[in-house]
Amino acid sequence: MTEVYHALGLNMHQPLGNLIALHNSPERWEVKQILWSYDRPVRMLEGYEDIANLHLSFSGTLLKQLEDPAVRETFHDVVDIEDLLNSYHRSNIEFLGSGLYHSVYPLTPPSDWDAQTGWWLGLGQHLLGRDEFHGFWPPEMGFCMEMIPVLKRYGYKYVLVDCWYIKPKREMRWEELRYRPHIARYDGHEIIIVPRDRELSSAQQSGVDPGWFQHEVHEKTKWCDFPALVTTWTDGDNGGWFRTVHIQSGFWGYFYRAILDRYREGSLGFTPIHISDYLEMYPPHEEVEVYRGAWNTGHHWGGDFLQWSGSLIQKKGLEELWKCSDYYQKVKRMFDQRYYELNNPEEVRQFIIDGYDHLLIAETSCNFYWGSAWVHRAFNDLEKAYSLFDTAMSRMPPMQYQN
């Protein structure tokens, strides 16, 4: 009988400053439900630690808020954030890395990918209590092959990719394509591709009966003649399914614990597993390519990125990101060339660092996700970035050219 494994993951994300903004809004009740959704995973795993192989990814913008003393003080009567994070340290949850400001990598300048990727690691190691992260969760599941060298540079072994975009290099049944990891190579670097089942993930997101899910996993994998890995991944803090205070009618009580109970009883038909454990037992061998694409959002299928780039103002905002990134590279090169000629080089360096931070914040996917409604936020940070870069340039003497 073919072995079937299930890897379940949840993505946790809030735009920068959103927790405080919600607290100061008429919908302040909403922020309590959001915070409880971060506090809930470890509590829901109590008594199931031996079989609950859960995965979580946290955006850098959320981690920055959970680290902020002002946020901790504001919500101390809702959730003890320090205790929450300490509980993650002690858990057996497999955390995946991500991007610092939750940018859609294929839509943003590749020269900024190092910062978005590397800066998340320090924050994640500190707050989530892990020395290393084996897997990478691309924000909005935005992936392209050009990302592979960057991810490998920061120690990632595997990356989650939506199953719709995987292109085999040999004839392959759809079960093979969707339910086993593969290898992808780019520019001399390789990484493991873990397919996310889109349809089952959509069900996980919107609310799903455990019996239906059990049946669907069986039907989808019944012709597999290899150890199958079914991977489902969704947001874990959006919608009443995850936020409800009535645990028994939501994701954790109605679905997740029911799945674990059935596994413990021996009636589930598949085994919950951590992706890293599956890969250790069954290393992939087949090579594939991956088309550019993101996950499905509402009525957008993700392959054309129209959710983030469909309107005129979205296109203009993305264009300005690239221009500002080019300007940053110019300012940084000038600084490196003139460093020893500057009266106060560290002051100039700080202007550049602060400006670059605003540029990276402008790249946040949420600035573009809501049609044209939030793009002004990207422009606001780009203006601050340009101002700081201009100030840095004004403190540097012009280049002297000799014939």
| Chain centroid, CA 79 distance in Å | 23
* Residue 27: partners with Cβ closer than 8 Å, 6 or more residues away: none
- Look at residue 108 and give its three-state secondary structure: coil
Q: What's residue 403's pLDDT?
A: 40
Phi-psi region at 354: left, alpha or beta (left = phi > 0; alpha = psi -120 to 50): alpha
Single-letter code of the amino acid located at 381: D
Q: What's residue 179's pLDDT?
A: 98
Q: Which of 14, 151, 59, 103 is nearest to 361 (CA)?
A: 103
Listed as ranges, residues in the chain with pLDDT below 70 are 1, 399-403
- Farthest-apart Cα atoms in the chain, separation: 83
CA distance 327 to 309: 22
Single-letter code of the amino acid located at 403: N
CA distance 95 to 77: 27
**Does the domain spanning 4-290 belong to CATH 3.20.110.20?**
yes
- What are the sequence ranges of the domains in the chain? 4-290, 310-394
Single-letter code of the amino acid located at 132: E
Torsion sign over Cα 203, 207, 211, 214: positive
- Look at residue 363 and give its three-state secondary structure: coil
CA distance 87 to 81: 10
| Chain centroid, CA 225 distance in Å | 32
User: Is the separation of the CB atoms in 159 and 55 below 8 Å?
Assistant: no
C-alpha pair distances (Å), 249 with each of 14, 112, 258, 366: 24, 42, 11, 29
User: Is the separation of the CB atoms in 288 and 166 below 8 Å?
Assistant: yes
- Bridge partners (DSSP) listed for residue 185: 190
State both tokens at 282: 């069954």
Q: What's residue 374's pLDDT?
A: 97
Q: What's residue 397's pLDDT?
A: 82
Single-letter code of the amino acid located at 162: D
Residue recorded with tokens 């969704």: 234
State both tokens at 367: 């600035």
Single-letter code of the amino acid located at 113: W
C-alpha pair distances (Å), 288 with each of 44, 119, 170, 179: 37, 29, 8, 13
- Look at residue 36 and give its three-state secondary structure: helix
What would the pLDDT profile of 257-292 be if each residue is shown by its tens digit? 999 999 999 999 999 999 999 999 999 999 999 999
User: Is the separation of the CB atoms in 232 and 6 below 8 Å?
Assistant: yes
- Bridge partners (DSSP) listed for residue 287: 183
